[in-house]
Amino acid sequence: MSQESYIARTSGLKAKDYIGYAMVDTAGCLVFSLVTMLLQKFYTDIFHLSPLFIMLMFIGARIWDAINDPIMGRICDTVKPNRFGRYRPWFLYAAGPLALSAVLMFLKLPGIGEEGNGFATALYATVTYIFFGMAYTVLQIPYGSLAAVVTTDPHERSKLSVWRSIGAAVGSMPVLLIASFAYEKRLDAAGQVVMGENGKAITDMVYAPVFKGVVLMAACSFIMLIIAFCLNRERVKTKPHPAAKGTARQVIKMLFQNRAFVAISLISMLLLAGQMFTQSFYTYLFDDYFHANWMNLATQACTYSPMVILMFFLPKLAKNVGKKEISAWGCAAAALSNLILFFLRGMDPGILMWIFLALCFVSGIGLTMLVMQLWAMVGDAIDEIDVKTNRRDDGTAYSVFNFFRKLGQVLAAICVNGALLGMNYRYEKGAVQSLGNLKKMYDLATLIPAVLFGIMALLLFVYYPLSREKVEQLQADKERKLKESYESKEIDI
């Protein structure tokens, strides 16, 4: 056998494989984007929940995830695979609960959100949000682990990461249509448009179009997961690890001792925090500060359109320059773009909105450098652990990685709701924001992402160790390890 034969025998992806792999994240993001972009404002404007309660609820849900996620990871690693594989069947198991939980989060039952029913509203929001989080975990941990058994070729892994990012972008776009139709101008008792202190018409979120859009997206998510199950294939057939007492603790300890895994987990946490903060807080900024809800669609186009350009040559660029290197410079560009926007505060909003969109595009290009290589970098870190420790627990590894991403959701919730509390945002029915509050809103909307993206760049430049040269050496070590695993019957091909 040739030196490359083991990797060659577990590779060879076709267009169907890339599309099927990307479709899982499209299905997931169809419902997850509802949480990142609409749920925060839905809670304050429709359910009339306080920002403090929302922040505490999100933190409480993540505490539960600290227990729930590792359990799901160990289930993936220890349960005997069926004839469809180890990870692929979970797409079917998650499809129904995920769609149902998404609908329930936005379902306004009689009395919910009404004055005097604050406790019932808070309880309903908490239960449905935790249900959604658990259903999303059932999908995401097996999905993250799937790449390791779909292909062992590093270039194909890089392309899978690109396709996953594209799938996520496609799944995140439809929510913008809901956001575009979710607001109406507020009218007084005489039928006249109510104006704010800045002379702009006040708009309010409306329940009916939001809920109809949620139901449609949940149904599409369900159907796409069924199709994705049919399109994916597991090429590496792994044996289940024995569920010995204390094994999970040992594996998690091993993960935290790996610098590359810890670094990419922290970077992913900050990335998700930055993305969720902007998606959630921008709905307030565009509605209350710019009074231009169409900017929700425009900013998302600026954020995701760079993928259309970069998808054609980013894998080759990553191969020649390095995943770490291009991601670090991209994050630095995103941080600088948001910092410039912060220093432009005070400009006329009518002019500033166009500069805002232009710099969002620059920031989008920078973040795309990381987003499209993120999952390949996670795979590199897990490969390094496998080579160094002779142990591979993809389910547990991705459960820990997924928990870091959920900590990113907590950080986003703290930033969003902390910003709302700091600017004294008024969430009561019929509330009007003061001019001073709106100025604070703009400052926080630009400064917080600049800080988050700047820390990401610093982690990549200084702490994340897998440079292009080290990844090349890792691939040689991985080929040797794959050969040993096959000959010892730890894996089948």
Residues of the chain with pLDDT under 50: 1-4
Please report which residue ranges of 322-393 form alpha helices under DSSP H.
323-343, 349-371, 374-389
Of 266, 414, 277, 292, the C-alpha closest to 353 is 292
pLDDT at position 318:
83
Question: What is the pTM (predicted TM-score) of this model?
Answer: 0.75
pLDDT at position 472:
83
Please report which residue ranges of 79-109 form alpha helices under DSSP H.
89-105
Of 349, 350, 352, the C-alpha closest to 341 is 352
Per the prediction, the chain carries an average pLDDT of: 85
pLDDT at position 330:
95
* Euclidean distance between CA atoms 48 and 38, whole angstroms: 14
pLDDT at position 2:
44
pLDDT at position 9:
61
Cβ contact 61:380 at 8 Å:
no
351-393: pLDDT as tens digits:
999 999 999 999 999 999 998 889 889 988 988 888 888 777 7
Residue 385 structure tokens: 């652990």
| Burial state string for 406-422 with b = 16 or more CB within 10 A and e = fewer than 16 | bbbbbbbbbbbbebbee
| All domains in the chain, ordered by first residue | 5-492 (1.20.1250.20)
273-307: pLDDT as tens digits:
999 899 888 988 888 888 888 888 888 888 878 88
pLDDT at position 410:
86
* Euclidean distance between CA atoms 125 and 74, whole angstroms: 29
Looking up tokens 């499809």, which residue turns up?
95
Return the number of other C-beta atoms located less than 10 Å from residue 152's C-beta: 25
Question: Which region, left, alpha or beta, applies to residue 114 given φ > 0 means left and ψ of -120 to 50 means alpha?
Answer: beta
* Euclidean distance between CA atoms 98 and 117, whole angstroms: 27
